[in-house]
Amino acid sequence: MKKFFIGVLLVLVILAGIELFIHKDGKEHVVKKDEQLVNGQSQAQAVYGDAASGLKVGTKAPNFTLQTLSGETISLSELAGKKVILNFWATWCPPCREEMPAMERVYEQYSDSNVEIIAVNSTVGKETKEKAEEFVKELGLTFPIPLDTEGEVIKLYQIYGLPTSYFIDTNGIIHSIYFGPMDEAYMKEELTKMS
């Protein structure tokens, strides 16, 4: 009986230690815009970093340079002056597949305006350039698809779930963040709100 109580006490101490380690700073990391969660999803708490990371709404989006499926080089900084939807996705992600047709429709509708969609493929692990090419061809996607073959941009933007999208205004400032598949109406609404 004494061993049982010692065992229970030991388990409780270990669990308390794990809880303390996970929440060591005691702060919640919540993505907010106008005092509300970006899209009401609590997943944002787990995804978001600290203010120094430059990944919060109202901060400058970190620059990156990647090669696209078509072999061109693209940098976020080259898109200054445009409204940008920066999307992170992979072919094995069903919600990514779900949102891609809506992204293509938005891209086609805004192709003559000051809007760009950049869909960064997480080309690491089992994901390959060939799989991304098949996916893009199957869905008839025409917006730029940069390949993050080293996972550097995924780390830079602290992406822990796919799809994740950043709406970046003409000054390179993060306007909003969306976790999960977006629909066409949401994308248009966010683009309208941005400067």
- Residues above pLDDT 90, as percent of the chain: 69
Could you read off the pLDDT of 115-126 as tens digits, one per residue?
Answer: 999 999 999 989
User: Residue 74 and residue 64: Cα distance in Å, rounded?
Assistant: 8
Whether the predicted pLDDT of 99 surpasses 90: yes
Helices (DSSP H) in the chain: which residue ranges?
A: 2-22, 43-47, 94-109, 129-139, 152-156, 184-193
Q: Which residues pair with 175 in a beta bridge?
A: none
Could you read off the pLDDT of 155-174 as tens digits, one per residue?
Answer: 999 998 999 999 999 999 99
Could you read off the pLDDT of 47-80 as tens digits, one per residue?
Answer: 333 333 448 999 999 999 999 999 999 999 999 9
pTM for the predicted model, two decimal places: 0.74
Whether the predicted pLDDT of 28 surpasses 80: no
Lowest mean per-residue pLDDT among 11-15, 174-178, 185-189: 11-15
Q: Which residue has the tokens 């976790």?
A: 179
Nearest in space to 96 (alpha carbons), one of 70, 120, 65: 120
- Domains of the chain, start order: 27-193 (3.40.30.10)
Which value, to the nearest 10 degrees, does the dihedral of the CA atoms of residues 37, 44, 76, 192 take?
A: -30
